[in-house]
A and B are shown apart, each in its own frame.
Chain A
Amino acid sequence: MAVGTSAVVETNTALPTPVKVGPRRGRPWGEWLTSYAFLIPAIIVIGGFTFVAMGVALFLSFFKYDGFTLEWAGLHNYAKALASADFHRALLNVVYYMVVVVTCQTILALSMALVLDRIMVGRGVFRTVYYLPAITSSVVMGLIFSWLFSPGGWVGSLVGIIIPGARQFGWLLDPLSALPAIMTTTIWSTAASFMIIFVAGLQDIPTHIYEAAKIDGAVGWRSLWNITLPLLRPTIFLVVVLGTIGTLQVFDQVYVMTNGGPLKSTLTPVFLIFTNGFRDFSFGLGAAEAFILFAIIFAFTLIQRRFIDTTVEY
């Protein structure tokens, strides 16, 4: 990302300026109005559905609100959330989920991107096929995988070839296997979109570096380990951060596949927020949990920023 941005800046300064771009104050009113007119839809949508909603949620997190009566609660909702066994369980579940999913999807996406990068014939076809899961609705995906994981389903039948009796095993019905089953679904579906980011990252690496390395005798694994991976650091960082944020917010697969069960083994914070807010109508508690989750995601991102060095010099 950083590479792309600096390149653009360089080109801009190098170009002569045929159109006079004056300071903002000198711009004619019409132009100013036109540019803002173009922004209005985005301002309404992002403002209304993101910023206003966030503000209302922050406000509600300090109240006891069931949809009908509003009652000041101070920090009670936050205290209740932090003390709640369900919230602890949900956080533990989601951290387990995050570690496994982010690791697997990053490795899988990178491997697929490396393979795609080598393929010369039919690259477009492979790219499309690999990308298909990313554009499939997560609900559809959840339904298909629920079916694959059901007793007597495909997964059970396959495992049943090796372990007799596994055919009738309900992967989503056992507290030990339900979350891994959801992880598999997520990894399979999200690896594809991260693969595209890696493909773009790989194409950013100048070929002359590989050529120089080749002359020095670095090919195959050495070139991957010493050139590709270090130069891909900004992309890896992006993928890991996006993956972390995405996995900490997992909801749809849980909603479709297990509803948080069995025995709360797939309960995740966002699912709990949804349950508290929209089923039990404790909007304040749900909002407080949402802000605690926000703080956790923010902390994770900061930590990752600190530990992954993203500056790259070509």
Chain B
Amino acid sequence: MRSTRLGLALAAMAAVLLTACGGSSSAGGASGTVRLSGWTSTPAEDKLLTDQIAAFQVAYPNIKVTYEPVPKDFRTKLKAQLASGTEPDVFYVELGDAAGFMQKHVLLDLRSEMAKTGTKASDFSSGVLAAFKTGDAIYGIPKDFNTLALFYNKDMFTAAGVSPPTKNWTWQDLTDAAKKLTKAGVFGLITNSDSARWAPMVYQNGGQVLNADNTKSMLLDPATVEATKYYTSFKKNGTGTYSGALGSGIDWPGAAFAKGKAAMVMEGGWLIPFMKDYPAIKWDAVELPQGKSGRGNLVFTVGYSISAKTKNPDASWILVNYLTGLDNQKTVLHSGFALPTRTALANDPYFAANPAAAAIFAGGAYGKPFSWGINSGKVADAISAALERILLNKQSVDDALKQADKEVTDALAS
């Protein structure tokens, strides 16, 4: 009898304690440690995130954020961590990995967490959010996005007597300008062996990379072949080249542009803060030229996802919600790094004052996500290798695409 009473008393106490704990967390007082991981970018861009984390720590002192930046091979490390079950609570997910991760069920469906803070799917640009959705389930919040724009060197255009590009430029305008702008030590346009620069031209020409459900290679589609011929024509005609051929330290098209070795490059918002270190170059950017099928572009985005195995979903979500919140997206936009995914910022006055950012933002309306399903990596590799063979004069466009088509078909079948 006595022992029963004691047992009951203990049970009651436990119940009170449990309710108390539960109560505090549902009231938004989530606490604990949240591990956050992403790759490092330029020092300025890294500072943006560390500042946001510091501000978060002030606003939510009960949640301790452990930031684990990965300087190189972040995706490799993340996959290894996911495989071994040691992944952080919150991490970057690149567009190309999203499909595979969702298929493997390693990401947390955010809908119930979003409901707790009143965050709605409709707050975000639907085209960008789509990359992180399976059906109605949402597995990541895009932190920002980017598209490509045509960056041009104003002084070089003036010197060559070419009127600056407009958003209504056609492929012919681009070809003509590249020819006139090429002179000793300067190339008109940089075309690297990179599927992410080639694909917009495929879309502008009405071509496809894969079919709509990413199950079949469309590399031999006549429009795709024609676009590939056009993309590689600059190198062939001597009015363009790839950045690696330009000397030490020029490891991407943006560096060629910044060092005055190229009059035009097709890059995204990441080039804007990079150019701050090269004040001598006067530049601007417009939307990419139009092909025979009109406009085409790629959308690049990175999302914050939460591990399906996290022990602290509430605190993790509060961090994600904070980092992708209106204030932070505004800061990122005004810094010029990337564009906001929150629709509330679409009419921000920043765009009127910064035509380059507006041009990149405009690409989001018609750009396609830079993802070719769960085999994105292998597809991009096969295309980049084919472009490399063409640019190095090792294969004709037709032969290179035939080989890539076979490789992509094999990759899709495995």
Contact = CB atoms under 8 A, between A and B. Distances in A.
B334 interface: no
Given A152-B248, A263-B389, 19 more contacts: A67-B79, A67-B82, A68-B82, A68-B104, A146-B248, A147-B248, A150-B249, A151-B247, A175-B394, A261-B388, A262-B392, A263-B388, A263-B394, A264-B385, A278-B73, A278-B79, A279-B76, A279-B377, A281-B79
A263 B73 CA distance: 22
Nearest to A278: B76
Interface in A126-157: 146-147, 150-153
B106 to A, nearest CB: 7
Interface residues of B, number: 21
A273 to B, nearest CB: 13
Contacts of A281: 79, 83
Interface residues of A, number: 22
A150 to B, nearest CB: 3
B245 A173 contact: yes
B85 to A, nearest CB: 10
B248 to A, nearest CB: 3
Interface string A248-270: 00000000000001111000000
Contacts of B249: 150
Contacts of A146: 248
Given A68-B104, A175-B394, A263-B394, A278 B244 contact: no
B247 A175 contact: no
Nearest to A148: B248
Contact of B377 (A175, A261, A280): A280
B80 A278 contact: yes
B210 interface: no
Nearest to B106: A68
Contacts of A153: 248
Contacts of B248: 146-147, 150-153
Interface in A148-182: 150-153, 168, 170, 173-175
Interface string B68-108: 00000100100110110000000000000000000010100
A160 B106 CA distance: 55
B180 interface: no
Interface in B356-414: 377-378, 385, 388-389, 392, 394
B127 to A, nearest CB: 28
Contacts of A173: 244-245
Interface of A: 67-69, 146-147, 150-153, 168, 170, 173-175, 261-264, 278-281
A261 B386 CA distance: 12
Contacts of B332: none
8 contacts: A67-B83, A152-B247, A168-B247, A173-B244, A174-B392, A263-B385, A263-B388, A263-B389
Nearest to B81: A67
B246 interface: yes
B96 to A, nearest CB: 12
Nearest to B244: A173
Given A150-B248, A170-B244, A68 B83 contact: yes
Nearest to A275: B381
Contacts of B392: 174-175, 262-263
Given A175-B392, A279-B377, A280-B377, A151 B80 contact: no
Given A262-B392, A263-B388, A150 B247 contact: yes
B81 to A, nearest CB: 10
A102 B92 CA distance: 44
Nearest to A64: B414
Nearest to B105: A68
Contacts of B244: 170, 173
